[in-house]
Amino acid sequence: MDLRKIKKLIELVEESGIAELEVSSGEESIRIARYSEPPVRSSISEQAGYLPNSVMHPATVVPGSPAYSTAPVGSRVTAPMAGVFYAAPAPDAEPFVRVGQAVAPGDVLCIIESMKMMNEIKAEQGGTCAEIAVQSGQAVASGDLLFRLI
């Protein structure tokens, strides 16, 4: 099976949402399994009483929080490709960014491993990291939320 066919099968699994796909052709066989874990949310805005999507309903407004907080605050950093999210350059290294840390444009936020290539994901704009939406080692799809900067 050539690499292009395997990539297409991976994309099929990601787009369809199925958990597992196994294809056999002669002596060749490939099994693609997708395991999803609920993302760990570590957010300044959640600690301050905002909902994860920054959508406030009258019944859920936390005392002391601004009533006008109905629009998302800050910017979203999403995965530009499918792959595996890594928060640090090595398993024993410090993460590139932590919640509450200031981020400047061009700072490396994480690495996404895709097709055995390590791709640095850099901040397009500055701000403070308010949320890290995925765990290190977790598979992400293109467009998945990685960080929220405020």
The parent domain of residue 144 ranges over 42-149
pTM: 0.53
80 lies in the same domain as 26: no
Distance CA 81, CA 123 (A): 15
24 lies in the same domain as 67: no
26 lies in the same domain as 50: no
79 lies in the same domain as 104: yes
- For the domain that residue 116 is a member of, what is the CATH number? 2.40.50.100
- Mean pLDDT taken over the chain: 78
Contact 44, 131 (CB under 8 A): yes
pLDDT, tens digit, 9 for 90 and up, residues 21-71? 788 877 887 877 766 554 455 445 444 444 444 444 444 444 444 444 444
* Alpha-helix runs per DSSP H in the chain: 3-16, 44-47
68 lies in the same domain as 17: no
Q: What domain count does the chain have?
A: 2
Ordered strands of the 108-114 beta sheet: 117-122, 108-114, 83-86, 139-140
